[in-house]
């Protein structure tokens, strides 16, 4: 670990943290409509995984997707505008929090359907293979998504055809209120890789470097044509499943345990311990990131709503008007 | 009479039937510990046990298929799909299994299964969490389809649905959960297949179901101020359809507007309009009019969503088109 890399990783993680805390605050103030799922606490998994990718690689994301998008290079102002339902947002206000996409950055999309991104990532990998491109596609998904048929079917095909993809499970222990150990009889999701004869590894999902190293190995394997891997990151979401979730299913001990393992505080500590940065430098970095998020909020607030005639646009590529009217 | 909301009415219906009949079980995501994301099964797991109130994994195809199997073996499962938008994940157990079992076994097998699924727009939940998908189910022989608009109807119909010996799609509307209405404390049932005339009128018939009934009644008030007396029929059950109530009203008013929140193309309103055309054409003084959602994906932005599906003013405009 060198200082520059550590700073880069930390900056991305902070960006996610402050984006999420800000979004939650605005949501609770009633400034955002709909529903948001924040990923505070899971930043190391998201940043560690995306840092192991090239800019030309792809990801699919989930309903809890803000962190994935930021980690893959998404712009926080355009993201924030989407959360506000503004015309300047990534999807012109049509998708909202759960549907951010930037194909140019390789972000094939967050998704409102649990498990849906996994076969889509596998299909993206198929496209790379057929075209002979050396891109890799990485699918992010939760512990609970690994109980969907889509997960098992996709892993089977990816393995059978040695597709260049990487499956990254962020195991935060819960699918909404349901603890994974009540609905799944393996201790580690990574064990499921055995069924598909692919590597399955478990990492400390709150250690950004551990995630980075594991995903890097998986990405190299995928790129060299040896097929997919499953990487499970053990982590925890600090906030509710959705904003406003009373979280009756969590125990104070568990919350405390994970608070002590906050991925951002851990990285900060590591960096100061190893003399890679001073506390002052880290505080400056934090202030810069906070300012960037504030600017994003300002951009979103100042942006216009989409004009109402946009409601019928973009349903089809051709013959849109007739197809919508009839 | 006491007032409770639509969500509480659904909760009470499930509770009463669970107490009454030990073969009723509940399966779905977050139904147990959390008491469902809409709070409808709070306390059920403690009262009835984790074997009757089952927190499933996120495996819609799997647990809906299991519910079909359990129903074939004599249980009466109530499955909750957290959003009706997830039904496409488990269309096989619904469409190819539950719906067809009785017929394809020559009547040997019954599937007494209720699938509860909230749908509907208005909560800025975007395209994958806002749809009205009733037409997928009304299209499938073997399924009964219920879509109540009031707490009273929701409770009485759900209790009947649970006692049905055929699979029932019980389609709720998320916006209605908080809507209050009178519900007696004493037990009652509402039979499937009976519409309810929610307002009498002589000039035009508005046929609606689910949340659009609320808008239709609002529209009727506005129309009354303009001198038009609208009759509002709440279908309550889409399959089987209460043709008699429709026919009686058409013979009285001779003008019909059919309303649905779902996108217009291929919707159930078109089916009703066609049945009126086929069976009561001579009674009509104007073409039957549909008021329905735009043929678009439901958008997230508050600036767009309200334009995508009908509200009272669209129904008023629709009525003005047929009453000239
Ligand atoms: C097919 C489907 N079923 C259910 C839901 C409702 N839902 C949204 S997120 C979620 C839990 C997902 O848990 P997990 O995959 O572990 O991701 P996490 O929320 O923990 O990030 C559920 C049940 C959904 N969106 N899609
Ligand atoms: Mg989870």
How high is the pLDDT of residue B4?
98
Q: Is the pLDDT of residue B311 over 90?
A: yes
Q: What is the pLDDT of residues B248-285, one digit of tens each?
A: 999 999 999 999 999 999 999 999 999 999 999 999 99
Question: Using the beta-carbon criterion (under 8 Å), do A175 and B295 form an inter-chain contact?
Answer: no
Confidence of residue A170 (pLDDT cuts 50, 70, 90): very high
What's the 3-state SS for chain A? CCHHHHHHHHHHHHHHHHHHHHHHHHHHCCCCCCCCCCCCCCHHHHHHHHHCCCCCCEEECCCCCHHHHHHCCCCHHHHHHHHCCCCCCCCCCCCCHHHCCEHHHCECCCCCCCCCHHHHHHHHHHHHHHHCCCCCEEEEEECHHHHCHHHHHHHHHHHHCCCCEEEEEEECCEECCEEHHHHCCCCCHHHHHHHHCCCEEEEECCCHHHHHHHHHHHHHHHHCCCCCEEEEEECCCCCCCCCCCCCCCCCHHHHHHHHCCCHHHHHHHHHHHCCCCCHHHHHHHHHHHHHHHHHHHHHHHHCCCCCHHHHHCCCCCCCHHHHHHC
% of chain B at pLDDT higher than 70: 100
* Of the candidates A43, A51, A5, A46, the residue with the CA atom closest to the CA atom of residue A21: A43
Q: What is the pLDDT of residues B236-246, one digit of tens each?
A: 999 999 999 99
Residue A284 within any structural domain of the chain = yes
Instruction: Give contacts of A182 with chain B, Cβ < 8 Å.
Output: 55
Task: Supply angle C-alpha B210, B222, B317, rounded to 5.
Answer: 75
Q: Which one of B129, B134, B173, B254 is the catalytic residue?
A: B129
Task: Please count the structural domains in chain A.
Answer: 1
Instruction: Point out which residues pair with A171 in neighbouring strands.
Output: A234
Q: Is the pLDDT of residue A103 over 90?
A: yes
CATH, domain range B196-323? 3.40.50.920
Please state, in angstroms and rounded to a whole number, the distance separating the CA atoms of residues A76 and A295.
Answer: 9
Please give the distance, rounded to the nearest whole angstrom, from the Cα atom of residue A115 to the centre of ligand 1. Answer: 8
Please state, in angstroms and rounded to a whole number, the distance separating the CA atoms of residues A167 and A35.
Answer: 26
How high is the pLDDT of residue B13?
98
Q: What is the interface size between A and B, counted as CB pairs within 8 Å?
A: 128
Residue A307 within any structural domain of the chain = no
Q: How far is CA B186 from CA A107, B16, B163, in A?
A: 55, 11, 18
Span A150-162, mean pLDDT?
98
Span A183-202, mean pLDDT?
98
Confidence of residue B324 (pLDDT cuts 50, 70, 90): confident
Span A252-280, mean pLDDT?
97
Q: Nearest 5°: phi and psi at B141?
A: -60, 140
- Write down the architecture of domain B3-182 according to CATH: 3-Layer(aba) Sandwich (3.40)
Q: What is the pTM of this model?
A: 0.97
How high is the pLDDT of residue A113?
98
Q: What is the pLDDT of residues B187-229, one digit of tens each?
A: 999 999 999 999 999 999 999 999 999 999 999 999 999 999 9
B80 is catalytic: no
Instruction: Point out which residues pair with A107 in neighbouring strands.
Output: A59, A102
Please state, in angstroms and rounded to a whole number, the distance separating the CA atoms of residues A186 and B267.
Answer: 44
- β A229-234/A165-171 pair status: parallel
Q: What is the pLDDT of residues A227-236, one digit of tens each?
A: 999 999 999 9
Please state, in angstroms and rounded to a whole number, the distance separating the CA atoms of residues B284 and A317.
Answer: 40
Cβ(A150)–Cβ(B88) below 8 Å:
no
The CATH number covering residue A187 comes to 3.40.50.970
The burial of A95, by beta-carbon neighbours within 10 Å (0-12 exposed, 13-18 middle, 19 or more buried), is given as buried
B60 is catalytic: yes
Instruction: Give contacts of A323 with chain B, Cβ < 8 Å.
Output: 295
Task: Supply angle C-alpha A41, A51, A201, rounded to 5.
Answer: 70
Atom of ligand 1 nearest to the CA of A113: 26
Please give the distance, rounded to the nearest whole angstrom, from the Cα atom of residue A199 to the centre of ligand 2. Answer: 21
Residue A308 within any structural domain of the chain = no
Q: What is the pLDDT of residues B142-189, one digit of tens each?
A: 999 999 999 999 999 999 999 999 999 999 999 999 999 999 999 999
Where do the domains of chain B lie?
3-182, 196-323
User: What mean pLDDT value characterizes chain B?
Assistant: 98
Structure tokens at A51: 């840092």
% of chain A at pLDDT higher than 90: 99
Residue A107 within any structural domain of the chain = yes
The answer to whether B3-182 and B196-323 have equal CATH topology is yes
Residue A181 within any structural domain of the chain = yes
How high is the pLDDT of residue A180?
98
Give the residues surrounding ligand 1 with Cβ less than 6 Å away. Answer: A 63-64, 112-114, 141-145, 172, 174-176, 241; B 29, 58, 60, 82, 86, 89
Instruction: Give contacts of A177 with chain B, Cβ < 8 Å.
Output: 30, 33-34, 55
Residue A316 within any structural domain of the chain = no
Question: Using the beta-carbon criterion (under 8 Å), do A94 and B58 form an inter-chain contact?
Answer: no
Please give the distance, rounded to the nearest whole angstrom, from the Cα atom of residue A173 to the centre of ligand 2. Answer: 5
Residue A156 within any structural domain of the chain = yes
Query: In this complex, is the C-beta atom of A119 within 8 Å of any C-beta atom belonging to chain B?
Result: no
Give the DSSP H/E element, type plus range, for residue B317: helix B312-322
Q: Is the pLDDT of residue A1 over 90?
A: no
The residue of A80, A86, A94, A143 whose CB has the most chain B CBs within 10 angstroms, and thus the best one to mutate to test that interface, is: A94
């Amino acid at each position: 670990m060198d200082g520059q890399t550590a700073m880069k990783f930390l900056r991305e993680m902070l960006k996610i943290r402050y984006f999420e805390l800000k979004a939650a605050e605005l949501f609770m103030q009633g400034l955002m409509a709909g529903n948001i799922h924040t990923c505070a606490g899971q930043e190391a998994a998201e940043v560690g995984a995306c840092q192991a990718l090239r800019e030309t690689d792809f990801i699919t994301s989930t309903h809890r997707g803000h962190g994935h998008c930021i980690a893959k290079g998404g712009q926080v102002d355009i993201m924030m505008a989407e959360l506000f339902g503004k015309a300047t947002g990534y999807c012109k206000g049509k998708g909202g929090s759960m549907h951010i996409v930037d194909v140019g950055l390789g972000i094939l999309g967050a998704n409102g359907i649990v498990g849906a991104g996994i076969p889509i990532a596998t299909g993206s990998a198929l496209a790379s293979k057929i075209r002979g491109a050396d891109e890799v596609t990485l699918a992010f998904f939760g512990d609970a998504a690994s109980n969907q048929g889509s997960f098992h079917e996709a892993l089977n095909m990816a393995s059978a055809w040695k597709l260049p993809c990487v499956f990254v499970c962020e195991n935060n222990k819960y699918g909404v209120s349901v603890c994974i150990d009540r609905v799944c009889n393996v201790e580690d999701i990574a064990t499921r890789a055995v069924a598909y004869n692919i590597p399955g590894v478990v990492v400390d999902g709150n250690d950004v470097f551990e995630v980075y190293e594991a995903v890097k190995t998986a990405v190299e394997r995928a790129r060299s044509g040896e097929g997919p891997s499953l990487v499970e990151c053990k982590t925890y979401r600090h906030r509710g499943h959705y904003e406003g979730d009373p979280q009756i299913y969590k125990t104070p001990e568990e919350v405390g345990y994970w608070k002590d393992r906050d991925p951002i505080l851990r990285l900060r500590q590591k960096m100061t311990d190893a003399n890679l940065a001073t506390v002052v430098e880290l505080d400056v970095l934090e202030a810069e990131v906070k300012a960037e998020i504030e600017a994003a909020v300002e951009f979103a607030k100042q942006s216009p709503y989409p004009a109402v005639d946009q409601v019928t646009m973009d349903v089809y590529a051709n013959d849109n008007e007739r197809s919508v009217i009839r | 009479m006491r007032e409770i909301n639509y969500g509480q009415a659904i909760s009470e219906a499930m509770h009463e039937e669970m107490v009454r009949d030990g073969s009723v079980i509940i399966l779905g995501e977050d139904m147990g510990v959390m008491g469902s994301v809409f709070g409808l099964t709070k306390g059920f797991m403690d009262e009835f046990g984790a074997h009757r109130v089952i927190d499933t994994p996120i495996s819609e195809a799997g647990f809906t298929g299991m519910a079909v199997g359990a129903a074939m073996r004599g249980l009466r499962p109530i499955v909750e799909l957290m959003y009706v938008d997830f039904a496409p994940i488990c269309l096989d157990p619904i469409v190819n299994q539950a719906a067809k079992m009785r017929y394809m076994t020559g009547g040997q097998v019954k599937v007494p299964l209720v699938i509860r699924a909230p749908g509907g727009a208005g909560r800025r939940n975007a395209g994958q969490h806002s749809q009205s998908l009733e037409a997928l189910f009304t299209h499938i022989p073997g399924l009964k389809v219920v879509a109540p608009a009031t707490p009273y109807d929701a409770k009485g119909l759900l209790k009947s649905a649970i006692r049905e010996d055929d699979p029932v799609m019980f389609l709720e509307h998320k916006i209605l959960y908080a809507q209050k209405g009178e519900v007696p404390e004493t037990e009652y049932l509402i039979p499937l297949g009976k519409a309810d005339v929610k307002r009498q009128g002589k000039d035009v018939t508005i046929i609606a179901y689910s949340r659009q009934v609320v808008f239709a009644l609002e529209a009727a008030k506005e129309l009354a101020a303009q001198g038009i007396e609208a009759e509002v029929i709440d279908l309550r059950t889409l399959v089987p359809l209460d043709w008699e109530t429709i026919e009686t009203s058409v013979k009285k008013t001779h003008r019909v507007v059919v309303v649905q929140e779902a996108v217009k193309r291929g919707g159930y309103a078109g089916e009703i309009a066609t049945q009126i055309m086929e069976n009561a054409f001579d009674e009509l003084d104007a073409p039957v009019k549909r008021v329905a959602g735009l043929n678009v994906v439901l958008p997230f932005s508050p600036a767009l969503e309200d334009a995508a599906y009908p509200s009272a003013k669209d129904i008023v405009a629709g009525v003005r088109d047929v009453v000239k």
